[in-house]
Structure 1
């Protein structure tokens, strides 16, 4: 019984996704009309309001005091950012022709174009005895630029098949993504607020994850009518399998490219670990926000984003142990502060 509770405690977010996604589809398919636009108008779009809250909560608990260590040696940060924001989106362009459903093609491009995770990259980096100053700086750099870079990649990848207002998307990401991130870091300038955020890091993280589950559940509810009208046959199941394989390939490419590049460029083992995770991981909140709020008429676009997130969680659990084995005790950095988990 204890082992079951420990498993649930560690994997409750994934369990929540597995429960809420099909539940949302069922509820939406049963109770919503073929056009849920009226309900959306009345209740408001959940992701529009919760995404800035999630990003603020993640940012306010992000300790950036160690960033100067990474700024003095920018090579690992530059390589990880290039892998995350150039190599992975480029590879996604090549995989678009594989996709069997236009919504999944759009979602794949969204998943590949969003920035590095806000918290997970640094958590995995610490677990593997890496330099979390590098992963933190990659997180801040890529998320700060997402309002500009992500829309340009989406325009390049799916702009011919889906109407994308690049200027409007840039503006929305500016105040829905960049501003909450900056506000969270500004709040940390006050020592007593920073101490409170650090003390409440775990509950704030739980609140952020609950908000994410709410966003995903609402997206599933809205997709219910489309799922009801669609034929869940071998063609659709094949399309799901193809896009899931695609996101696994993209994440694997990010992991391998970042690690091999770190070896070629002779990064320290700790920096190579950080570049591996920060270069390959993609954030969920911004991806879900774009897929559910900014893309119109593609109700299933959110699911490749979720597939990417779920796949990287499972894969990186195994990668942590492999990277720890690659470091000798002498290479292991002495942390300035205890790990968060």
Structure 2
């Protein structure tokens, strides 16, 4: 029985297992060889290249019917945006009432104010059986909304802690990033299919698996860059990990509850659950470094939240798929 169960469990949860192995390998590598490789790849735009490939493959996987259905699904889109822009900050305010150091609270607020992820949420939505086109629509929309919402929401969150910063969001840079990393490769993939490239169902599955592998590679690069902070602040990790687990867990529960109340069923709910609860890392790190450089613990919260919430969601992908 055990012999038959083990391969099935590995096949079902391979993404989560991969995430845990990457985390362990980077942190336990005393030679720093893995961390140096990850930092080098990140410095040479490795993450950006992989995001481009992910969205090119997504363009090959998406069907025209999915696009029209995703854009028309106003109910699911609204639910995801409310989770991202309103409920996440409110959850963070509630958790900040606990006796936490200022750096931890700052990191939590930075995470809460962020838009959804660019790549991982889209990939997980597809792997869980959801509408990739709708996930992409929510990604683009939430990142555009963030240009306006972050300078408004973040100062309100920070005010009780007497933290202030001159938050300037480079709107042009965000639009260019969305255009080059998301829209152009997505349209290129869709165009290749339109002009005669045949994508069979088995090939779609393989492309989806490759996309998941590239998400793991992006996590590896992010973790490599944050290894030194993680190792030097091990005590703070014991506080931060439970905090981000609770934060993301509450968002997942709120997303699932919204789907049930609004009658958003399988095929539609996946985009709400993953896109509504996930948070992008690069923008949070950029704001921490430029606006709050003295609070190193805040950076630790951003990085640990990103890794932990991807681990939680990778387990959820397998559950929803089954």
The residue that corresponds to 2:146 in the other structure is 150
Q: How does 1:70-81 map to 2 (within 5 A)?
A: 74-81=73-80
Q: CA deviation at 1:102?
A: 4.7
The residue that corresponds to 1:3 in the other structure is 5
Q: 1:140 to 1:43 in 2, by over 3 A?
A: closer
1:202 lines up with 2:205 in the alignment: yes
Q: 1:188 to 1:26 in 2, by over 3 A?
A: same
**Alpha carbons 2:27, 2:227 under 8 Å: kept:** yes
Equivalent residues, number: 295
The residue that corresponds to 2:20 in the other structure is 18
Q: CA deviation at 1:253?
A: 0.8
The residue that corresponds to 2:137 in the other structure is 141
**Alpha carbons 1:114, 1:282 under 8 Å: kept:** yes
The residue that corresponds to 1:273 in the other structure is 266
Q: Distance in 1 between matches of 2:78 and 2:168?
A: 27
Task: Say what the alpha-carbon RMSD is for the aligned residues.
Answer: 3.8
SS of residue paired to 1:141:
helix
**Alpha carbons 2:121, 2:135 under 8 Å: kept:** yes
The residue that corresponds to 1:49 in the other structure is 49
Q: How does 1:178-257 map to 2 (within 5 A)?
A: 178-183=179-184, 184-189=186-191, 190-192=193-195, 194-196=197-199, 200-230=203-233, 232-233=234-235, 236-257=237-258
Q: CA deviation at 1:242?
A: 1.6
Q: 1:13 to 1:178 in 2, by over 3 A?
A: farther
Q: CA deviation at 1:163?
A: 6.2
**Alpha carbons 1:284, 1:309 under 8 Å: kept:** no
Q: Distance in 1 between matches of 2:64 and 2:123?
A: 12
Q: CA deviation at 1:69?
A: 4.7
Q: Distance in 1 between matches of 2:56 and 2:288?
A: 23
Q: CA deviation at 1:119?
A: 3.9
CA deviation string 1:242-301 (max 9, x = no partner): 221111011111110222133xxxxxxxx4334433222138998244356675352551
The residue that corresponds to 1:290 in the other structure is 283
Q: How does 1:27-106 map to 2 (within 5 A)?
A: 27=29, 31=32, 43-69=43-69, 74-95=73-94, 97=96, 98=98, 100=101, 101-102=104-105, 104-105=107-108
**Alpha carbons 2:77, 2:138 under 8 Å: kept:** no
Q: Distance in 2 between matches of 1:163 and 1:5?
A: 51
Using the size of structure 1 for normalisation, the TM-score is 0.69
CA deviation string 1:44-72 (max 9, x = no partner): 3533433333333334322232444566x
Q: 1:228 to 1:91 in 2, by over 3 A?
A: same
The residue that corresponds to 2:260 in the other structure is 259
Q: How does 1:103-118 map to 2 (within 5 A)?
A: 104-105=107-108, 108-109=111-112, 113-114=116-117, 117-118=121-122
Q: How does 1:126-137 map to 2 (within 5 A)?
A: 126=129, 135-137=131-133
CA deviation string 1:135-164 (max 9, x = no partner): 445323212223312344444454555968
The residue that corresponds to 1:337 in the other structure is none
Q: Distance in 2 between matches of 1:285 and 1:81?
A: 10
* Ranges in structure 2 where 5+ consecutive residues have no aligned partner: 294-298
